[in-house]
Every structure is written in structure tokens, then in C-alpha cells.
Amino acid sequence: MKYVEPTRTCRDGRDRVSLPHVPSLIYYDFTSAESFVVNVIAQGLATADDLAWRGVQVAPTLPVPAMLLERRARERVEIELLDAVRVLPQLKPRLPTRLPNTRAALQAVASVERMHRARADAFRTALFRAYWERDVDISEMSSIIAIASDVGVPPWVELDHQAAQAAQVAWELDWQAERLGGVPRVIRPDGQILWTVKDAAAVQAFLSGSP
């Protein structure tokens, strides 16, 4: 995986050495309840430069507008929600009635990260909450635009920025090449991977760099 990140400097005796700053990578999708949990836990734990959010589609063939959940899919989502609430009891999710194609939403977040980074975390969180708490169809661009406006993303930000679209496609290729198998997946700079979200303390410790 390739990184293009800002550098930072440190002083070693009298010499100034430039060191590349490599963030932890977080692969996520809005239809993943565990991704929602990681997003909530990550708030306040690290600076924007410490985490690189990479949105990937778990189910890229889903239609727009969103597909109504069939019985089996609804049961699976219900189990995911129960697990999420066990990790973070303060969550107040609502069982969604549909499963959206997330490409436009993921590309919109990537666009905001490039054009107005200060609002990216709030925008990502608002999209998660819109789906998991209000059953909003976040496959629809009209819904994405309304959510962006609600969290203060300036109207001049292109939510379908061409570079962001290309980046999101590249992230999916990396995610597939690494055989990560699902989301969320957190890869720290030391190579350690968070495979499961069992409890909030473990996720906090992992994001903070603890063994």
C-alpha cells in the first residue's frame, strides 16, 4: 500500500531529521454497524493526521435507490446491531429497512477530506447516523447533499470530486489485494490489524497504539 502524507520533523542532538508520518488506515463502509462503532470510538482519540479513513463498498452491486431488506438480510443486520450496542451501549440505533449502495456517500466523504478536511469527520459521522439512526437512504445524492449542508460542508465543495472517486476505487483494490475480508479493518503503522470489534476498550487501546 502506498502513502502520500505530510512529513514532520524531530531533533536528534543538533541535527534535524525529516520523518514521514504514516497514519493508521481504517477501511469502512456505511452499511457496517461495526464501522459505525469504530467511527464513534475514534472521535477524540487521535488527530486527523493519525487516521486515514478509506471507504470501501462491501456490496457494490446494490441498487440506487436502496434495496429493501429481505427477511434473512434483516435478521443479519439485526444481529450486527445487537453486537454494536453491546460494544457501545450508548448507541441508539434503529433497525434500517433498506440496504443502500454506498459508493456516492463514500466518494462524498473522500471529496470533503480533500477540499475541506475540517468538516470530514463530522460529515462521515452524520452519514453513519443518518443511516443507522434515521433509516435515510444514503445512496441518493439528494440525501447526501442535505446531510453535508447540515454539518456545515460549504456549498462550493464538490461531493463527486474526480480525484476522490479515483482514490476510492484504489482503496477498494488495496482492500481486496490485502485480503482483509470485511470491514471495519484498522491497519496500524506497525502492521498490526484490528480484525474484530469485541469491546470499546480494546478498540481504544488499538487506536492509541497499545500492543
Burial of 54 (0-12, 13-18, 19+ CB in 10 A): buried
Residue 1 lies in a domain: no
- What is the rounded distance in angstroms from the CA atom of residue 58 to the CA atom of residue 62? 10
Report CA torsion sign: 116, 117, 123, 124. positive
Cβ atoms of 64 and 101 closer than 8 Å: yes
Residue 56's contacts (CB-CB under 8 Å, 6 or more residues apart) are 27, 28, 29, 106, 168, 171, 172, 175, 183
**pLDDT score, position 47:** 63
Task: Provide the 10 A C-beta neighbour count for residue 176.
Answer: 11
**pLDDT score, position 209:** 79
Residue that has been written with the C-alpha cell 433497525 in this structure? 95
Written as one string, the DSSP assignment of 100-111 is: ---HHHHHHHHH
Residue 143 lies in a domain: yes
Smallest Cα–Cα separation from 54: which of 201, 207, 164? 164
Q: What is the CATH number of the domain that holds 94?
A: 3.40.30.10
- What is the rounded distance in angstroms from the CA atom of residue 20 to the CA atom of residue 209? 17
3-state secondary structure of 67: strand
pLDDT tens digits, the chain, 211 residues: what are they?
333 333 334 444 444 554 567 889 999 999 999 999 999 999 877 666 789 999 999 999 999 999 999 999 999 999 999 999 999 999 999 999 999 999 999 999 999 999 999 999 999 999 999 999 999 999 999 999 999 999 999 999 999 999 999 999 999 999 999 999 999 999 999 999 999 999 999 999 998 877 6
Alpha helices (H) along 1-140:
33-42, 71-87, 103-115, 120-134
Domain containing 88 equals 7-207
Pairing of strands 7-12, 185-187: unpaired
Residue 154 lies in a domain: yes
Residue that has been written with the C-alpha cell 502506498 in this structure? 2
**pLDDT score, position 22:** 83
Regarding pTM above 0.75, the answer is yes
Pairing of strands 193-194, 185-187: antiparallel
Residue 95 lies in a domain: yes
Residue 193 lies in a domain: yes
Instruction: Give 23's DSSP letter.
Output: P
**pLDDT score, position 132:** 97
Residue 2 lies in a domain: no
Task: Provide the 10 A C-beta neighbour count for residue 66.
Answer: 23
**pLDDT score, position 152:** 97
Q: How many domains does the chain have?
A: 1
- What is the rounded distance in angstroms from the CA atom of residue 68 to the CA atom of residue 96? 9
- What is the rounded distance in angstroms from the CA atom of residue 42 to the CA atom of residue 114? 20
